[in-house]
């Protein structure tokens, strides 16, 4: 009884692990929504997230919106013949049974027209629009400029 | 007769442009090959204070050179974060290495603030943003490619494409190798340590 009380107290006291929340819409599970601190508000911020399709129909991420930026877009960093560029991604496929990651060096949300600089520890909502599943709003957590991704290993997910 | 002269001039210009185009294509496509041949890339570019800095003044140090632009939220921070990690992990050996960020978008980067950008990653990183001519000369010397691409949907109406590699230059100024985009900091660190 005492140990149960203690563990409950610890659970309540532990700060929610950053960028480790889980969101769902239809058969899609959205996790690890994060961003990096920006240097000022004049340069674009970035948005990364992981989407798992647990359903029986292929889906696709077709857009993002956020109050944090006036011009959010989906991009894909591609390195072809040693040249990196980042064309628009009109649609990011989320096939049945797969997890698709927007991650450094690959697909990413590009948040242009920031309302204010993003600081480590900030949290802002991002609405993802899927072709089939529709809209879902997730919380994106701002990690440090040098972060490679959220550390959710001890988050008990 | 005047018309004929004009035709000759135009044809010559067209041929020169075609040759230059293929020469440029060839030089960027041949990047892997040149990594093997000994050469000493050079630059002369203004730093954030407007002081002209040259490759010669860094003789005696290893140089980690990265070409990028500060309006680049995905590729550039990844590489600069790795460089920052390498500098932290080098400890006292950090004095033997000078990391340099060369802007390929110098006008905008000077406006946005070059120094605050490089310092946000690591105070050791030197940011350089020269004139367009100096920048092209440096890129040519390093045999790297960059281009401005019109993109009406993004801020300022353009974005940059570029060679995202990290280049290692020896204390004698000779090109040593390229670290491909995404090379982990630990790998760069151990490569550097093996050369001290
Ligand atoms: Cu982008």
Chain A contact for B181 (CB, 8 A cutoff): yes
**Residues A86, A107: Cα–Cα separation, whole Å:** 9
CA separation for the pair B177, B34 (Å, rounded): 10
Beta-carbon separation of B73 and A42 below 8 A: no
Domain contains A151: no
Stretch among B55-59, B67-71, B154-158 having the lowest mean pLDDT: B154-158
Q: What is the average per-residue pLDDT within B41-51?
A: 97
Q: CA-CA distance, A6 to A97, in Å (whole number)?
A: 39
In the reported structure, the alpha carbon of residue B24 is separated from the centroid of ligand 1 by a whole-number distance in angstroms of 26
Question: Has residue A74 been placed in a domain?
Answer: yes
Instruction: Tell me which of A122-126, B2-6, B12-16, B21-25 is least confident.
Output: B21-25
Q: How many domains does chain A have?
A: 1
Q: Which CATH number belongs to the domain containing residue A130 in this structure?
A: 2.60.40.1890
Tell whether A153 is covered by a domain: no
The reported pLDDT for the residue numbered B36 is 55
A149 occurs within a structural domain: no
Binding-site sequence positions of B: 72, 76, 162
Per-residue model confidence (pLDDT) at position B66: 96
pLDDT at residue B14 above 60?
A: no
In 3D, which of B131, B135, B118 has the Cα closest to residue B43?
Answer: B135
ipTM above 0.90, yes or no: no
Question: Which residue segment(s) compose the domain that A108 sits in?
Answer: 2-143
Beta carbons within 8 Å of A81's beta carbon, 6+ residues apart: B28, B29
CA angle A120, A47, B120 (to 5 degrees): 40
Please, what is the average pLDDT of chain B? Answer: 86
- Domain membership of residue A156 (yes or no) is no
Nearest CB neighbour to B164, from listed A75, A79, A113: A79
Instruction: Answer yes or no: is A157 within a domain.
Output: no
Check residue B25 and give its pLDDT. 43
Q: Please tell me the predicted confidence (pLDDT) of residue A8.
A: 43
Residue B5 pLDDT class (50, 70, 90 cuts)? low
User: What does the pLDDT average to over B83-100?
Assistant: 97
In a domain, A154, yes or no: no
**pLDDT tens across A92-115, in order?**
999 999 999 999 999 999 999 999
Residue B113 has pLDDT above 90, yes or no: yes
pLDDT per residue, tens digit, chain A (157 aa), is: 444 444 444 444 444 568 899 999 999 999 999 999 999 999 999 999 999 999 999 999 999 999 999 999 999 999 988 899 988 899 999 999 999 999 999 999 999 999 999 999 999 999 999 999 999 999 999 999 999 899 887 544 4
Pairing of strands A45-53, A28-36: antiparallel
DSSP for A115-146 reads SS---TT-EEEEEEEETTTEEEEEEEEEE-TT
Q: Where residue B112 falls among pLDDT bands split at 50, 70, 90?
A: very high
State the best of A63, A83, A117 to mutate against chain B, taking most chain B CBs within 10 Å: A83
Q: How confident is the model over B89-100, as a mean pLDDT? A: 97
Mean pLDDT, to the nearest integer, of B44-57?
97
> pLDDT for B161-195, tens place per residue?
999 999 999 999 999 999 999 999 999 999 999 99
Strands A92-94 and A99-102, by their bridges, are unpaired
Answer for the pair B80, B171: CB distance below 8 angstroms, yes or no: no
């Amino acid at each position: 009884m005492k140990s149960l009380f203690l563990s409950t107290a610890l659970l309540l006291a532990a700060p929610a692990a950053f960028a480790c929340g889980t969101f769902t819409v239809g058969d899609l599970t959205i996790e690890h929504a994060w961003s990096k601190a920006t240097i000022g508000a004049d340069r674009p911020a970035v948005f990364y997230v992981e989407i798992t399709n647990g359903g029986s129909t292929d889906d696709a991420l077709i857009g993002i919106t956020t109050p944090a930026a006036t011009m959010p877009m989906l991009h894909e960093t591609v390195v072809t013949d040693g040249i990196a560029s980042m064309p628009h991604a009109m649609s990011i496929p989320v096939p049945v049974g797969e997890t698709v990651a927007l991650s450094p060096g690959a697909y990413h949300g590009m948040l242009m027209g920031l309302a204010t600089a993003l600081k480590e520890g900030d949290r802002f909502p991002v609405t993802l629009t899927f072709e089939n599943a529709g809209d879902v709003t997730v919380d994106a957590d701002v990690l440090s400029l040098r972060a490679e991704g959220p550390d959710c290993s001890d988050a008990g997910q | 007769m005047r018309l004929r002269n004009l035709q000759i001039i135009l044809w010559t210009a067209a041929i020169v442009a075609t040759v230059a185009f293929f020469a440029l294509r060839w030089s960027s496509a041949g990047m892997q090959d040149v990594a093997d041949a000994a050469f000493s890339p050079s630059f002369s570019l203004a730093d954030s204070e407007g002081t002209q800095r040259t490759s010669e003044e860094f003789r005696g140090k290893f140089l980690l050179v990265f070409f990028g632009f500060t309006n680049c939220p995905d590729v550039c921070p990844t590489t600069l974060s790795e460089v920052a990690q390498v500098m932290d992990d080098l400890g006292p050996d950090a004095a033997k290495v000078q990391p340099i960020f060369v802007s390929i978008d110098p006008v905008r980067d000077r406006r946005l603030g070059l120094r605050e950008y490089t310092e946000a990653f690591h105070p050791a990183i030197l940011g350089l943003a020269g004139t367009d001519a100096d920048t092209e000369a440096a890129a040519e010397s390093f045999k790297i490619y960059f281009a401005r691409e019109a993109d009406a949907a993004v801020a300022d109406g353009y974005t940059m494409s570029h060679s995202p590699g990290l280049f290692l230059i020896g204390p004698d100024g000779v090109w040593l190798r390229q670290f491909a985009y995404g090379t982990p900091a630990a790998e760069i660190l151990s490569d550097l340590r093996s050369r001290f």
